[in-house]
Amino acid sequence: MATERHFDFLILGSGIAGLFYAMKVAPHGSVGIVTKKHRAESNTNYAQGGIAAVTSKEDSVEMHLKDTLQAGAGLCNEAVVRTIVEEGPERVGELMQMGMEFSEREVPGADGEREFDLGKEGGHSKRRILHAKDATGRAIEAALLNAINAHDSVEWFEDHFAIDLITTEKLGVEGENRCVGVYVLNQLNGEVETFSAKTVLLATGGCGKVYLYTTNPDIATGDGVAMAYRAGVPVANMEFIQFHPTCLYHSKAKTFLVTEAVRGEGGIIKGIDGEAFMDRYHKLASLAPRDVVARAIDAEMKKTGSDSVHLDITDKPAKFIADRFPNIHQTCLKFGIDITREPIPIVPAAHYQCGGVLTDTSGRTDLAGLRAVGEVACTGLHGANRLASNSLLEAVVCAHQAAMEVVEKIGDHPDVEIPPWQTGNAHDADELVVVSHNWDELRRTMWDYVGIVRTTKRLQRAKTRIALLREEIQQYYWDFTVTSDLLELRNIATVADLIVSCALQRPESRGLHYTLDYPERNEEWAQKNTIVRREK
Ligand code: FAD
Ligand code: SIN
């Protein structure tokens, strides 16, 4: 008998978006959390800099709004930005009630009084980043996981991989098309299980693994975007992939971010010859917006033929560095780099997906029964370039709004009978080398042709190659029993194609999308999202 499970609230993903939503819906019904690895493994767990929210007297909602709009290069939805920035402080307060502790400092000259130790990052006009030293995400993830333990209504499914959304349309049920569940691969026994639910939340995070070099952990394969797209849900603005300028460059470091907060505390980007070259590119120098810094580093590396540039914070006292950035200090020491005495070799790497499944601030998608929150979603907050530390903020605000709406209507949805997953004639794959080869080829193609600087010709080349790979992968998918490797490959290929399709639609350079064929902004595109939707 194939396994069937039923929940009121089904959540795919256990990063900040999934967990914050789980905390909110848990008192109102049964909750299933499906997550493809260990429950803490998520982009959230690696977030360093912190969460942007207006908490200081010197700051204001208007300033945070202005900085976000400025970074977003004319493509943010201002109403969405206002909602998220205004609601942010209250949701951050709730995070603290759930157990999150942010770093504090003594108020100078105020006799032991304490306040948040606010950090500063590129594009922010004020210090407004709440953080837990340089491992904020780990602290948030731990606090939320701990808080969820108090809810008996929550059932966990670790090592469970969501394959595809189940819709009434696919089942041939009449009436409004609705998401009624998900097919899920239990990676512990290889069985595909059926999860039905009254409402499904996609909180599957981003897609950094589409690129050869990324700050993201292995889970970030764009599964949610790919699943939604296959189900006919509109996806938007995928051309806006944010490259973080400062990823540690070391042959043994697979992926390790050096937070922008290092620059906020005085770190300077330099060429390997020691020149602080950012002055030549932007008036804010090392603290210029991320897209500018990443492009400048890319240009300098191409010009000098060097494999990396440097981030130098050695001007600061060693004690300050070790105390403010213990995670980075210790990690770099393991690779033989003492950041208190020598510069850190860094390179840009794919970091954040600004586009995603088209939603409003309550995660509502075009498909009834399906909401999307967190990095998987495109709400309009980030526009063409995300302001640093705005994503954790977006996740908590939107998870809250989504939860408030779904709990109100949860009783209204009838259960639908779902047939078990069909394996057909699928058998075990005999040539896994093909899968790993295609992984490499796809990620390299994206890095070489769809990276920081693009051209139409390179995008078209990438499109052709991705199409061939997708055909081969699809054949594999039909013929062989599914594995997480194959499913992820299918998803990164789909997402790669969506990124290229969106990039080809936009005949201008704006924010993170920079093409040599259209190096300027085209004001006709100022408020246009690039939307892709699977043809029926
Ligand atoms: P995630 O935290 O990525 O969680 C996704 C979850 O979905 C995971 O549990 C994953 O296993 C699961 N999942 C995915 N696919 C499937 C599937 N098919 N089946 C089952 N489960 C699945 N943002 C900030 O605002 N401030 C920062 O300081 C900051 N620093 C960052 C540092 C690094 C190194 C990185 C990589 C990102 C950083 N970001 C930061 C971005 C931010 O961390 C993410 O945007 C945010 O954490 C995303 O949260 P999420 O809940 O949407 O997704
Ligand atoms: C960082 O700490 O530099 C990452 C912040 C972010 O991506 O928002």
What's the pLDDT tens digit per position in 107-139?
988 888 999 999 999 999 999 999 999 999 999
Which one is predicted more confidently, 458 or 425? Answer: 458
The domains located in the chain, with CATH, are 4-239+354-412 (3.50.50.60), 244-349 (3.90.700.10)
pLDDT exceeds 80 at position 1:
no
3-state secondary structure of 130: strand
d(CA 286, CA 309): 12
Task: Kindly report whether the global pTM for this prediction surpasses the value 0.85.
Answer: yes
What's the pLDDT tens digit per position in 57-90?
999 999 999 999 999 999 999 999 999 999 999 9
pLDDT grade for 412, boundaries at 50, 70 and 90: confident
Residues 6+ apart with CB under 8 A from 197: 6, 7, 8, 9, 10, 32, 180, 181, 182, 369
Distances (CA, A) of 72 to 185, 450, 515: 37, 20, 17
* Degrees to nearest 5, angle at CA 196 with 219 and 420: 90
What's the pLDDT tens digit per position in 240-295?
999 999 999 999 998 899 999 999 999 999 999 999 999 999 999 999 988 999 99
Q: Which ligand is nearest to the CA of 16?
A: 1
Q: What is the pLDDT of residue 109?
A: 87
pLDDT exceeds 90 at position 461:
yes
Residue of 138, 354, 135 whose CA lies nearest to 258: 135
The one-letter code for the residue type at 120 is K
Phi/psi at 456 (nearest 5 deg)?
Answer: -60, -40
Candidate from 389, 393, 512 with most ligand 2 atoms within 8 A of CB, to mutate? 389
Phi/psi at 8 (nearest 5 deg)?
Answer: -70, -50
Q: What is the pLDDT of residue 406?
A: 97
For residue 48, the ligand 1 atom closest to its alpha carbon is 28
* Length of the chain measured in residues: 536
67 lines ligand 2 (CB under 6 A): no
Q: Average of pLDDT values for 153-175?
A: 97
pLDDT exceeds 80 at position 388:
yes
C-alpha 139 – ligand 2 centre gap (Å): 15
Q: What is the pLDDT of residue 428?
A: 80
Helix locations, 27-167, DSSP H: 61-71, 78-97, 136-148
Write down the number of H helices and E strands in the chain. 14, 19
For residue 261, the ligand 1 atom closest to its alpha carbon is 28
pLDDT exceeds 90 at position 529:
yes
d(CA 348, CA 89): 31
Residue of 24, 11, 8 whose CA lies nearest to 144: 24
pLDDT exceeds 90 at position 423:
no
pLDDT grade for 427, boundaries at 50, 70 and 90: confident
Q: Average of pLDDT values for 474-485?
A: 91
15 lines ligand 1 (CB under 6 A): yes
C-alpha 374 – ligand 1 centre gap (Å): 8
Tell me the average pLDDT of the chain: 96
Percent of the chain at pLDDT above 70? 100
Residue of 437, 418, 435 whose CA lies nearest to 483: 435
Buried b (16+ CB within 10 A) or exposed e, 59-78: bebebbbebbbbbbbebbbe
For residue 134, the ligand 2 atom closest to its alpha carbon is 2
C-alpha 246 – ligand 1 centre gap (Å): 18
* Burial environment of residue 107 by CB neighbours within 10 A (0 to 12, 13 to 18, 19 or more): exposed
68 lines ligand 1 (CB under 6 A): no
Residues 6+ apart with CB under 8 A from 405: 362, 364
Angle at which helices 432-449 and 484-505 cross, to 10°: 20
Name the catalytic one among 91, 290, 386, 470.
290
Q: What is the pLDDT of residue 434?
A: 82
C-alpha 17 – ligand 1 centre gap (Å): 8
* Degrees to nearest 5, angle at CA 479 with 478 and 480: 105
Residue of 141, 185, 163 whose CA lies nearest to 51: 141
Q: Average of pLDDT values for 343-354?
A: 98
Would you call 290 a catalytic residue per the annotation? yes
Residue of 136, 55, 79, 89 whose CA lies nearest to 393: 89
C-alpha 258 – ligand 2 centre gap (Å): 9
d(CA 464, CA 23): 44
d(CA 105, CA 320): 13
d(CA 286, CA 470): 40
Distances (CA, A) of 511 to 9, 72, 124, 335, 522: 36, 7, 16, 34, 12
pLDDT exceeds 90 at position 536:
no
Candidate from 33, 43, 256, 331 with most ligand 1 atoms within 8 A of CB, to mutate? 43
Residues 6+ apart with CB under 8 A from 299: none
389 lines ligand 2 (CB under 6 A): yes
pLDDT exceeds 80 at position 14:
yes
55 lines ligand 1 (CB under 6 A): no
C-alpha 178 – ligand 2 centre gap (Å): 36
pLDDT grade for 190, boundaries at 50, 70 and 90: very high
259 lines ligand 2 (CB under 6 A): yes
pLDDT exceeds 90 at position 157:
yes
For residue 224, the ligand 1 atom closest to its alpha carbon is 15
What's the pLDDT tens digit per position in 48-63?
999 999 999 999 999 9
